Each structure stands twice: as C-alpha cells, then as structure tokens.
Amino acid sequence: MFSTLLIPLLFQALLLPLATAAPIGGLIIPKINPAKILCQMPLVEKFLCPAGGLNGLSRATVFGTASGVVDADGAYRYPVKYATSSRWAPSTLVSAWNLPNGSNNVSALPLACPQPDVPSTAYTEDCLSMVLYVPQSLTLNSNAPVLVWLHGGSFVVGSATATGLDGSKLAQATNSIVAVVQYRLGALGFLAPNGNTNLAVKDVVNALEFIKRAAPAFGGSASKVTLAGQSAGATMIRALLSAPSASSLFRSTILQSDPMNFGHLRPATHTALLNKFKELTGCSSQSCQNGLSISSILAAQKTVYDSAPSLDPAAGNAQPIRPVLDGTFITTPLDISSTFPSVSKPLLVTSVSNEATYAIYDIFRDPIPEEYFPDICAATFGEERTTTVISSPFYQPSPGSIVDGEVDARAQLAILGTDYLWKCSGWTFARAWVQHGGNAFVGQYVVGATYPGNEQVPLCTQSDVICHQDDIQIVFGTVSNPTSAQSALITEVQQRYKAFLNNGNPNVAGLPNWAPATTTDVHSIRLGGTGEAPIGACDPTFWGSTVDYDYQYYN
C-alpha cells in the first residue's frame, strides 16, 4: 500500500507532462488542468485538495494559478482580469490568470471603468475585471451554481466594487459562486466612432466565457449560471436574452428594477447619438480617436447623454446610451412592439414600491401645485397620452399627497413614473415571456435598505418608502445594522435565490408560495410584506394599450 507521504510525489510527477502546452498543427493547445482532473479522485482530493483547490486559497485553473484572500465576511475572494481590449475594439478573452490593474497585490480590488464625477485615479481604461466570491465549503465536486451580478448605473457609472456589492455573504447564504462583473461604460462601451456596436454587451459575453472555463476549478458548474442585475445591469441582461449567440452561456436570469419602458435603441437612434458624439470630439481618423483624452471623451459623452431626447426622442431621458438592436448580435427587440420569440429560460422580475420617488423629489425639491400636473405629464407623454393619464383613476390626488393643506403633485408623478418605467412594463414583459414558453416569477420589494446617496431625498429614508436601488443591499445581505424586518427579508430573498439558482424556482419550504406568472395574472408577491401587489394601472388594457410604452410609441 502506498504511504500517504508518496502521494504528493506521484501527484507532482503526473502534473508535469499534463501541464505543458504543445503546438499541434501550428496551433497552441491550452494547458490541461491536471489538478482539476486529479482532484476529482476521492483519495487525491482527501489529501491534496482541501477546500477544493491545490491548497486552500490557491486554485489551478485553465488560465493558470488563481490566488485569493479571505474576505472580511468569510468567503474566498478572487479579483481577476477576464478580458483585454483596445479602445473601441471588441474585447478578447484572456489566456492567462492576471490580477486587475496590473497589480501584484491579490487583495487589491479592480479599478472602475472610466466614468464621470470620480477621481481619475479611481478608474482605468483597462477595466474588464470581475471579483469572484467562493464559499469556503465548496470542493471541486460541489457542482455549485454561479450567480453573475451586473451592476447598474445607467450604463455610465458603477463598478464591481460599488457600495453593497461585496458578494461574500450572498455566496455563503446561497452556497454558490458569486461573480461581480464590470464592463465598459458610456461612450467607450456604446459609442464607438468606427461603428462597432454593443461593445459593453460583448464584454459581458467574454466574462461569461471566462466563468464557464474557470468556475469548475472553484467547485462551480459551468452549466448552472444565473445572470442577475439591477437597473441598467438588468437592461444588460435583457440585451443578452435578445442575443442568440449568448444563450448557451447562462440558464436563468434575475431582473431587478429594469426600466423596461425603454427598449433597445434602434439603429437610427443610435446613429443620431453617435454622430453627435463624433461631432463633439472632432475626430474622424483612428489615430485621432485613439489619442483622445479620457476627460474629453467623458465631456462629449455627458453632452450626448443630456441632449439625447432632443437628438431623438426614442433615446429617452434615463439611460439613452444603451444596447442597440443591431440585427446581427442583438436580433430581437424582445418586447411587444414586434413578434416575441419562443423562450424557455426561467426568470425573476422584481421592482421596488417607489422606483421613481428619488428622481421626482430630487428634480422637484419643492411641492408642485396640482394644476401643474397635466403640463408636466404633457412634457413627457404628449397631449394625447396625457389626457388618458389624467382622466384615469390611478393618478388622482390622495390624502398622502396633501402638504400644508395643498395637493403636492410630486406624489402622483412618483406613482406614475414607477408604473410607467418599471412596474407595469415589467409585468407586461413577464406576461409575454410566459405566453411564449418561459416561466416567470414577479415580485415587488416593500421593505428595503436606503442605498447610499438616496438619503439626499429625505422621503427615501422612511421605512415604508422603498426607492430605486434600495433592494441591492437586501439581496447581498450587506445592510449595516439591519432591522428585524430587513433581516427577515434578507434571509427570505437569499433562500429564494438559492432555490432559483439550483432549479429555476424560488419557492422554498416554510416560505409563502410564490406563484408563477400567467398571461393574465403575474401574481406579484410583496417581498417583505404579505399577499400580492395591487394591479392598479398594470392592467394590459391601460399601459401598453391605451397608453403606449416608449418602445411602442417611438418605434
């Protein structure tokens, strides 16, 4: 019988020939991962592969050895660069495991992608990185699901290290690998002067390719990948659902607070924004474009963003720089403006109860007299649609909208914006998804945690007002000093996510039943409350029919 002291020598002898790449027919064949193969053998795993790797934090991947640290909340954390790119060129999957930022410090987190209103030292153009959070309990045989999180920020701000996105607690609660991914933003990701479209979306495809190849080395399953994202991150996922070539890289999705009122940009709208950007930069040659400073790119980007509705109303006000229905990569609008394709992936669609409150009360700092409500609506909807809105029973003054004895129309506008951009358009999407073959589960957060920055609108700090982004720290379990209601919801959501990641269904024994959506009733549960969210204006005979969504109205 072999002595256990001889096993390391045998292991080393077997590794050397397997780990050498060799040229075959002029091609370089990537290194085989012998550690993965041998660590699947029970005897080898027992003695040489604790915690699923070669030794603790060190993992042998197809890209090379990965080194990590123990996150403050207990999971193993691995920052890594997943792709490289030249300016305004498609990104390329890496061939080796490298830390972000050109760093040798394994504990250093990635710098963000270039964006406005942050110091230049906080970002880098070489920003295609992710952070992996791996439960310490996983072994190479765990076959654990992978949750890939895409951050929001209207496609112009945000990063994998934004507040609340430490995936350690979420990874451990769901017993899954959590990958928080960043992608090129703004003009660098969507307004390439050379005509390359959807560069940022294709960055995420490379991130998914990287995860598919690397996940098994950490105990993850390449076939059990769920995409999750909030706001623009959810819009990004909707773009990937519209791209047939990306379909095999994930099996389910979670869309949180996706402003589904906005469809993918049509080519003509994208061209209008791109032409303005090129005009502002004054560059037509490749050499000139490559020589532009980041500050000049961001300045031109801001002007395009701010002026987008005047360039083409179909761009909208909220996130005008976004994925493009280019017809080759993104091939379907995936909305009710045209034929909806056959679908099969399970999805979760959630919103928060007061999505538009921050925006409305931040723009209008003082109460708005009721007589101004029609004019403000008309500026957004046009006269014909405004007539339908103001005559409906859904947006009349309520007792809660009385301030100093006068009606404050901001309350009506907040409800209107929530319904139009998020809640009702999301419900319409869920109905269409179910009608064409998929399963959908719909929910609305009625408990949340005030996201940093939202306190600028005092109303968003009230416990019964859940503003845009207030679901993020609930999902990740990163709420500081949570209340009992927040703690209960964190536990519930993470249990439901764990079930969904494993089998595409968020129902868990001991929790209230979450009925799947149907073509007539989406059964939107109240997350943090009881029962189902009221339908209100989200009947398909109103939004999407009597009053068109922007993707119908403009396109």
Helix (H) or strand (E) holding 95: strand 92-98
Task: Provide the pLDDT for residue 48.
Answer: 39
SS3 state at 81:
strand
Could you give the angle at the alpha carbon of 140 between the alpha carbons of 138 and 144, nearest 5°? 55
Say if residues 182 and 66 touch (Cβ distance below 8 Å): no
Tell me how far apart the alpha carbons of residues 130 and 151 are, in angstroms, rounded to a whole number: 11
Task: Please report the domains of the chain, with CATH numbers, ordered by start residue.
Answer: 1-62 (no CATH), 63-264+324-334 (3.40.50.1820), 347-553 (3.40.50.1820)
SS3 state at 105:
coil
Torsion, Cα of 98, 102, 108, 109 (10° steps): -80
Which tokens hold the place of 102? 């050109």
Cβ partners under 8 Å of residue 498, min gap 6: 173, 174, 175, 176, 508
Say if residues 538 and 427 touch (Cβ distance below 8 Å): yes
DSSP notation for 160-196: TTSTT---HHHHHHHTSEEEEE----HHHHH--TT--
Tell me how far apart the alpha carbons of residues 422 and 354 are, in angstroms, rounded to a whole number: 10
Task: Provide the pLDDT for residue 513.
Answer: 98
Q: Give pLDDT tens digits for 6-47.
A: 333 333 333 333 333 433 333 333 444 444 444 444 444 333
Cβ partners under 8 Å of residue 484, min gap 6: none
SS3 state at 29:
strand
Tell me how far apart the alpha carbons of residues 423 and 444 are, in angstroms, rounded to a whole number: 8
Say if residues 200 and 240 touch (Cβ distance below 8 Å): no
Cβ partners under 8 Å of residue 94, min gap 6: 63, 81, 82, 83, 84, 210
Task: Provide the pLDDT for residue 405.
Answer: 82
Name the stretches of the chain with pLDDT < 70: 1-56
- Chain centroid, CA 417 distance in Å: 21
For residue 143, the tally of other CB atoms under 10 A from its CB is 15
Residue where the block lists tokens 């773009």: 239
- Chain centroid, CA 168 distance in Å: 17
Q: Catalogue the E-assigned strands of 413-555.
A: 440-445, 525-527
Could you give the angle at the alpha carbon of 134 between the alpha carbons of 128 and 135, nearest 5°? 165
Residue where the block lists tokens 């660069």: 81
* Beta-ladder partners of 407: 402
CB burial of residue 354 (10 Å; 0-12, 13-18, 19+): buried
Any idea which residues carry the catalytic annotation?
Answer: 231
SS3 state at 455:
helix
For residue 520, the tally of other CB atoms under 10 A from its CB is 10
Tell me how far apart the alpha carbons of residues 406 and 399 are, in angstroms, rounded to a whole number: 10
Say if residues 340 and 432 touch (Cβ distance below 8 Å): yes
Tell me how far apart the alpha carbons of residues 37 and 497 are, in angstroms, rounded to a whole number: 30
Tell me how far apart the alpha carbons of residues 446 and 444 are, in angstroms, rounded to a whole number: 6
